[in-house]
Amino acid sequence: MRNSRVWVIACLGYAGMAGAQAVALHAAPAPAGPPREGLALWLDAADLDGDGKADAAAPEAKGQAAASWADRSGGGLVARQEAPAARPVRVWDKAGRAAAVQFDGDDFLTLGRAESLRFASGKAFAVVAVFSAATAGKGTLVSWGGGSAGERGYQLWAAPGKIGGLRYSGLHEFTRKAGIGLAAMVCDGKQVRVLLNGREGASFAAGRARKESVADVLIGARRAGADGSGVGYPLTGDIREVLIYSRALPDADLAAITKYLAGKHDAADVRSSLETLDTRIRKLQAAGRSLDLAELLWQTATRNKLTDAQAEIAAKLLDDDDPFARGLAEWALARKVGFENNGQVARWPGKGPPAWFRKYMAVPQERRIEADWVRQAVARGVHRDYDALAGDVIRMGFRACAMEYRQPVLFYPPTCCDRIVALRNRIRRWTFRAPLRAPTEADLRKARLIWLEAHRWMRKLMLAQAAEQIDSLVIVTQFTPHTVRNITRSYAWKHKPGGDIVILDDLASGGQVRPVLDGRLGTNGDIDGYYRELQWLAD
């Protein structure tokens, strides 16, 4: 079949969301639900027996054990679990309208070695999951295979603060936030895209198996061994629907399915993601949600799509009260500048740069250091995870105590250790005071501020130690390596000519650096028509 693809669609979420009837997308009569053409599997939490009729709602405190989950597409497949202790439970919301199959970290269902769901190397497929999870929630949604990442046929999962996917390849993840989201992994046979709420977050080449996986297809976990033994990375969360198609689904069909699932499961966050980027930016600006706005601009910049008008918005966030909003805005602008300087000639600074670029270049050193810590938190996916932020601060407190114990206080400012330990104790009191209460956004903001303050004092402590042994640091600065062909059109990953050498004399304070060349190599290393490569000798 030309351009043949197979799509796997899973609708995931926590019980408690109100259901709603899907609206017809076309004027012509059509059966309710997803498209039927090529539908190989349809698991619906409201219809465990797969007879095509919604089960009677039976709200129960502990839920109903789901030993089996039958296909309602007519394909005859059944997801089963023979061990009572490993069975998930079907739960309903209080209104008795929305159902979900709930996995608690020890449960999973197997569809066996169904050939219609096992896609060999070079075959196209997609996995999509609508889920609602705390930032710390994790686990596999749908998988085929086990063993190392390169031995697994496909896997889509939620990690703490991230969404990930693989296809006989390494792990590929990007940031998510708490709440309902629709994750998708789409493979055309050669290239794999991972998306969240219809927007691409990662793209990578599909791997090829040396030997196709012999494992079964699982819901809520993956196999631990390549031979199909054991269970790994089980899910903590709820699954509402799973759809698997054996035909190509164009982007228009995926958008329609996304709209259908968002409406059925009352996924407001997914629906909002279908709005245009500019509409989302205006809404976040009007609501005063600076961190969400900065993160949206940063995500846009990671796809190299940040426009100059959007860069102006990011530049305004450099003055925001929230340091994480400032840090993400700075990172968004850095991504834009880096990408646009990736060609043969650097676009920035250029002649007469716009206001947003001048403001970006004027960010003071202490703010850039702060922004670097923000990057670390966002890259790790902990900036929206209270427990992870608290854990970092607690570990920094123990490390400061250990450093003070192993080394005399002779060259450690005592206030550094005292302040870090005080911050550790402060966040421990908050953490242990209400361990069962879900942290609010205000709690997260406080935790982020304490996390940054602990890093400031830890930096002072580390620099004070280094200052006792090092007089100065010599630092070489260069353009980041090309990811495209350079001026010779032959070699990628080469530095553009230019750069500088700077010296940091006062380590204890981490003060300003002293330039040596001070721009004498020019913007692109171009002096009177000749390119000067930066070289140096040291002893």
Same domain, 444 and 404: yes
CA distance linking residue 120 with residue 89, whole number of Å: 32
pLDDT tens, position by position, 430-440: 655 555 566 78
- Name the domain count of the chain: 4
Taking the CA atoms of the chain, what radius of gyration do you get in angstroms?
26
Contacts of 322 (CB under 8 A, 6+ apart): 290, 291, 445
State yes or no: pLDDT of 89 exceeds 50: yes
**Amino acid letter, 37:** E
Whether the predicted pLDDT of 15 surpasses 80: no
Q: Distances in Å between the alpha carbon of 44 and those of 73, 126, 281, 294?
A: 10, 18, 35, 37
Q: Are residues 214 and 157 in the same domain?
A: yes
- DSSP-assigned beta bridge partners for residue 311: none
Encoded tokens for 286: 């009007």
* DSSP result, 258-292: HHHHHHHTT-HHHHHHTS-HHHHHHHHHHHT-HHH
Give pLDDT, residue 325.
97
User: Do 302 and 448 share a domain, yes or no?
Assistant: no
* Residue 165 and residue 194 in contact, taking contact as beta carbons nearer than 8 Å: yes
Please report whether residue 514 resides in a domain: yes
514: number of Cβ within 10 Å: 13
More confident site: 280 or 334:
334
Given this model, what pLDDT does residue 277 score? Answer: 79
Label residue 360 by pLDDT band (50, 70, 90).
very high
- pLDDT surpassing 90 at residue 363: yes
Which position has the higher pLDDT, 20 or 535? 535
Among 47-51, 234-238, 404-408, top mean pLDDT goes to 47-51
Is 524 part of a structural domain of the chain?
A: yes
Q: How confident is the model at residue 203 (pLDDT cuts 50, 70, 90)?
A: confident
Specify the amino acid at residue 474: V
d(CA 151, CA 173): 18
In a domain, 519, yes or no: yes
- Identify whether the C-beta of residue 198 lies closer than 8 Å to the C-beta of residue 255: yes
- Per-residue pLDDT tens digits for 327-359: 999 999 999 998 888 766 677 887 889 999 999
* 334 belongs to a structural domain: yes
Least confident of 199-208, 292-301, 365-374, 401-410: 401-410
- Note down the domain range covering 312: 277-379
Averaged over 249-256, what is the pLDDT?
A: 79
- More confident site: 230 or 258: 230
Is 423 among the domain residues? Answer: yes
The pTM assigned to this predicted structure is: 0.58
Strands (E), 374-499: 473-477
CATH number of the domain that residue 182 is part of: 2.60.120.200
Strands (E), 382-498: 473-477
300 in the same domain as 220: no
The mean pLDDT value of the chain amounts to 80
User: Is 32 part of a structural domain of the chain?
Assistant: no
The residue out of 215, 249, 273 marking a domain boundary is 273
103's tokens: 């996995």
Residue at which a domain ends, from 246, 273, 300: 273
In a domain, 64, yes or no: no
Domain presence at residue 62 = no
pLDDT, tens digit, for every residue of 372-402? 999 999 998 889 888 888 889 888 888 887 7
Domain stop point among 273, 290, 309:
273
- Judgement on whether residues 183 and 315 belong to the same structural domain of the protein: no
Type of residue numbered 391: G
Answer yes or no: do 480 and 354 share one domain.
no
Average pLDDT over residues 180-194: 83
Chain segment 25-70, per-residue pLDDT in tens: 333 344 567 888 878 888 888 899 999 888 887 665 567 899 999 9
405 and 326 fall within a common domain: no
For residues 328 and 361, membership in a common domain is answered with: yes
Q: Determine the Cα–Cα distance for residues 163 and 167; give it in Å rounded to an integer.
A: 14
Q: Are 219 and 87 in contact (CB under 8 A)?
A: no
Contact 266, 17 (CB under 8 A): yes
Kindly state whether residues 243 and 344 are assigned to the same domain: no
Residues 257 and 130 in one domain: yes
Query: 222 and 294, same structural domain?
Result: no
Sequence letter at residue 280: R
Any idea which of 19-23, 217-221, 234-238, 311-315 has the lowest mean pLDDT? 19-23
Same domain assignment for residues 372 and 403:
no
Is 318 or 490 the better-scoring residue by pLDDT? 318
